C-alpha cells in the first residue's frame, strides 16, 4: 500500500506532449498497446503481449508475445503489482530491439484512475510514457453502479463521439463514457486517465484509434495474445 501510494503521487493527469495540444494530433506517429491474457482455467499462465502501430494509419509495426508464469497472488486493488512487471519487461525488450519504434502513448485495456491506481497508471509512471485506460465494462468504485440511471445515460448516447462523465460519490470525475460506434451505442467504452494525458485528450485519442468498437492498439494486442495462448 505504501509503494502504491508513492507511485500514485507521481501520476500526471494533464497533457505533457506537444502532439496532444494539436486538434489532429500532429506529431503523433506511433501508438502502442499492451495486455496480459490468461489461459482459460489457469490463473498462473499468461501471455504478455505488446504491439506498436503507426498513426494515423494504424498499421502494425512491431509485435511481441511471450508466455509467462504469474506467481504473485491476486489482491483486490493491487492487480498492477501482479501483472505490470511482465508488461514492463515487454516494453524493455522493445526499447532494446527497436528503440526507434517506441510508442508515444499506450492504450491499455485495464482501468486506470477509474480504479484508483490501476495498471495504466502504474505502467505509465514506471515507463514515464503517456497511458490511457480503456474498458468495455464499468468498474463499480466510488459509488459508481450500473443502475437504471446509468443504463439510461448509455441509451442517451446517440451519435459517435457522444460522452458523459463518470462522477463518483466523492464528486471526482473518474472517467468518461464514450460512444465510438454508430451501430453499437448500447455498448460504449469507459475511458480514463493513466498518466501524462488529460481526460479530454484521452477520449479524443481513443476515438481517433477506433476502426471498430475497441481501439485498434487494444484490439490488435488482444488478438496477438489470443494467438499466442493457442500456440
Using a pLDDT cut of 70, give the percent of the chain over it.
93
The domain 1-137+191-203+216-230 having CATH identifier 3.40.1280.10: the answer here is: no
At 111 the pLDDT is: 63
Domains of the chain, residue spans: 1-137+191-203+216-230
Indicate the range of 28-32, 92-96, 226-230 predicted with least confidence: 226-230
- What does the pLDDT average to over 152-157? 84
At 142 the pLDDT is: 77
Answer yes or no: is pLDDT of 185 > 60: no
Q: CA 155, 159, 160 angle in degrees (round to 5)?
A: 115
Answer yes or no: is pLDDT of 23 > 50: yes
For the stretch 76-131, pLDDT in tens is: 788 889 999 999 999 999 999 999 999 999 999 876 666 778 899 999 999 999 99
Indicate the range of 50-54, 150-154, 184-188, 197-201 predicted with least confidence: 184-188
At 114 the pLDDT is: 67
- What does the pLDDT average to over 14-35? 96
Which SS3 state, helix, strand or coil, does residue 229 take? helix
At 178 the pLDDT is: 86
Per DSSP, the residues of 17-52 read SGGGGSTT-TT--EEEEEEEEEETTEEEEEEEEEEE
- What does the pLDDT average to over 182-209? 86
Cell numbers standing for residue 67: 508466455
Q: What is the average pLDDT value for the chain, to the nearest integer?
A: 89
Cα–Cα distances in angstroms (integers) from residue 200 to residues 56, 150, 187, in the given order = 19, 20, 20
- What does the pLDDT average to over 54-68? 97
Q: CA-to-CA distance for 129 and 146, rounded, in angstroms?
A: 32
Amino acid at each position: 500500500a505504501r509503494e502504491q501510494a508513492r507511485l500514485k503521487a507521481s501520476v500526471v493527469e494533464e497533457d505533457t506532449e506537444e502532439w496532444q495540444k494539436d486538434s489532429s494530433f500532429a506529431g503523433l506517429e506511433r501508438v502502442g498497446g499492451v495486455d496480459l491474457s490468461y489461459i482459460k482455467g489457469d490463473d498462473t499462465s499468461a501471455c504478455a503481449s505488446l504491439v506498436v502501430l503507426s498513426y494515423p494509419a494504424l498499421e502494425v509495426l512491431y509485435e511481441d508475445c511471450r508466455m509467462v508464469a504469474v506467481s504473485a497472488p491476486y489482491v483486490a486493488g493491487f492487480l498492477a503489482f501482479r501483472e505490470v512487471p511482465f508488461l514492463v519487461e515487454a516494453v524493455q525488450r522493445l526499447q532494446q530491439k527497436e528503440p526507434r519504434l517506441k510508442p508515444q502513448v499506450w492504450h491499455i485495456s485495464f482501468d486506470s484512475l477509474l480504479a484508483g491506481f490501476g495498471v495504466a497508471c502504474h505502467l505509465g509512471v514506471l515507463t514515464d510514457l503517456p497511458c490511457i485506460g480503456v474498458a468495455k465494462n464499468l468498474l463499480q468504485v466510488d459509488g459508481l453502479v450500473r443502475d437504471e440511471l446509468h443504463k439510461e445515460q448509455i441509451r442517451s448516447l446517440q451519435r459517435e463521439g457522444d460522452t458523459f462523465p463518470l462522477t463518483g460519490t466523492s464528486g471526482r470525475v473518474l472517467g468518461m463514457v464514450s460512444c465510438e460506434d454508430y451501430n453499437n451505442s448500447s455498448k460504449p467504452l469507459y475511458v480514463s486517465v493513466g498518466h501524462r494525458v488529460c481526460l479530454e485528450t484521452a477520449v479524443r485519442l481513443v476515438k481517433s484509434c477506433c476502426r471498430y468498437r475497441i481501439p485498434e492498439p487494444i484490439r490488435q494486442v488482444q488478438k496477438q495474445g489470443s494467438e499466442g495462448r493457442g500456440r
